[in-house]
Copies of this chain bind each other. A is one copy, B any other.
Amino acid sequence: MVQEDMIIDKHSVIPIYYQLFKYFEKRIRSGDFKPGDALPTEMEIAERFGISRMTVRRAIAELANLGMVYTQKGKGTFVARPKLDNVVFNLDNFYDEVRQKGLECRTKLLEARIIKADPLTAKRLQIDVNTRCLFFRFVITADEEPLAYETKYTIYAKQKPILESELKDSSLSRLAAVHSDSTPVSSKKVLMASQTTEEESEILGVACNTPVILVVQTVYDQNKKPIAWGKTLYRGDRYKLTIYDGWLSGDE
């Protein structure tokens, strides 16, 4: 147990709680502690390493955040079984993923103008038909090959001109922030499987009825009033959502 004391360097620039967290993380990953096993009690750890119990608790909190352990009041701290089925898919890595493949990813504006709300947009944004809105169409390309097609609608409260400079890599929430009175605070996205229409096929350069991932996003202000909506079509043959889950190592 004297060995164990050597694990922690109290005078390191690395926080003690972090060293302790990494120490237990390693021991759990290596199988020294198996799912269901109890960790030593907080007092035991604190005494063994000669540190404060609050510091131990901080380390355990980190482990619990990763889902590697769970605590039970009055009982102890136990190693969790990795849950691999609560899985989330990430969309924010779109550009990163594309770039990681060494491709040049560009957002090209096809169209930006003022329109009168069509029935669908009116319904989505809870406004009257024919209310003035802003309408945008983008194509996202990687090495000149179309990857995704986006159409976006925002309410047009500020009567502010559309600046070219604001259209580079413009996300829906940013468009909404610029042209509406209120601040976007929440958003809803719905992901569906779909197929291209004729028009979409042409823009994406694929055959008609090609499978696509369709994402419809609505952006809301603090009063839950919709202030923008848009849809994005991702070419099913070129784009996938990948996601890793479980006890992932943070250091590799």
Instruction: Write the residues of chain A forming the contact surface with B, with a CB cutoff of 8 angstroms.
Output: 29-31, 34-35, 81-92, 171-173, 183-195, 209, 211-213, 217, 219-220, 222, 234, 236, 240-248
Contacts and interface: CB of A to CB of B under 8 A. Distances in A.
B186 A240 contact: no
B193 A234 contact: yes
27 contacts: A29-B185, A34-B183, A82-B185, A84-B172, A84-B184, A84-B219, A85-B92, A85-B171, A85-B173, A88-B88, A88-B89, A89-B90, A89-B91, A184-B246, A186-B246, A187-B244, A187-B246, A188-B243, A189-B243, A190-B242, A190-B243, A191-B213, A191-B243, A192-B213, A193-B211, A193-B213, A193-B236
Given A29-B222, A195-B211, A248-B186, A92 B86 contact: yes
A159 to B, nearest CB: 23
A236 B194 contact: yes
Contacts of A172: 84-85
Contact of A187 (B87, B89, B195, B236): B87
B84 A187 contact: yes
Contacts of A83: 173
A194 B211 contact: yes
The 7 closest A-B pairs by CB, nearest first: A193-B236, A186-B246, A89-B89, A84-B187, A86-B92, A193-B211, A84-B173
A121 to B, nearest CB: 19
